Structure formats: structure tokens, C-alpha cells
Amino acid sequence: MAIYVDADACPVKEEVYKVARRVGWDVFVVANSFIRTPAEPRICFVLVDAGADAADDWIAERAVPGDVVVTNDIPLAARALEKGAEAISPTAKVFTADMIGSALATRGLMEHLRSFGEITAGPKPFLPKDRSAFLSALDAAITRARRRAG
């Protein structure tokens, strides 16, 4: 069982390491540019080729039931769910099979609106309460993943 982190702009990597140490899971931090990670045997940095979906592809090819994927990328979350893995966002959003279709549709609509300049605001600032919510969501995802893996 492993935690895969779509690491570009992920604000909760330290929280993932902390939880992974506690539960004894491997962590794969995947990005297309170097990210410093702790020099620990269960934490592995994976450098993928440059490209929009290279990190997503690497994670989606390896995720299996019993794993957890941490990502803000809705299409990657959908792919993880298809493989039977759990998927959560750094903001503690839990992606489920029941809501992923709607999330993909909303993402498409928002991209369309942004292309016309209709939406210009970025994401909200990441606050300490968001870190706490993420830790709770990650613990719950690990519990679900363990059940799924048997």
C-alpha cells in the first residue's frame, strides 16, 4: 500500500510524510521538476519527463486498490478511482465514484469560462485549518484503502 502525491504545487507533502511514517506506507512524490524529499527508504521522489500529464500518467499506471492518490487534478482522481485507489485533494476533498462525473463536467465548464476571461481569481489561500482537514481526510482515506485491499 502506498500514497502517490501529484507533487507540483502540493502544499501538504510534509503532512503526507508524517502520516505515512505513522502507518508504515511508502510514499511516491511525483513531479516533472526536482522536489526535495526526506532521505528515507519509504519516501521516493520520482522525476518524470516534462509534459502536461507525465506525472498523472505515472501515478495512474501504478495505483491499485489499497493505495491513496493525493491530487488536485480531477482527471487523475478519476483515473485513480477507476483503478480502485482512493483519491483526495490537498484541500481534503474526497473524490468518489458518485461525484467524479460531475466534478469532471464542472472542471470542463470552468476551463471554458476561463478561456473567455470570465473567471480570473485564483484558488483561496491555504490555511492551517486546511492542513488539519487534510490530515483527517488522509486518515479516513487510508482506512478505506485498507478495507478495499483486504
pLDDT of residue 149: 82
Q: How many domains does the chain have?
A: 1
5 vs 116, residue with greater confidence: 5
* pTM of the entire predicted model: 0.85
Round to whole Å and give the CA distance between 111 and 67. 29
pLDDT tens per residue across span 59-103 = 999 999 999 999 988 899 999 999 999 999 999 999 988 776 676
CATH label of the domain that carries residue 144: 3.40.50
What's the domain range around 91?
Answer: 2-149
- For the chain, the average pLDDT equals 89
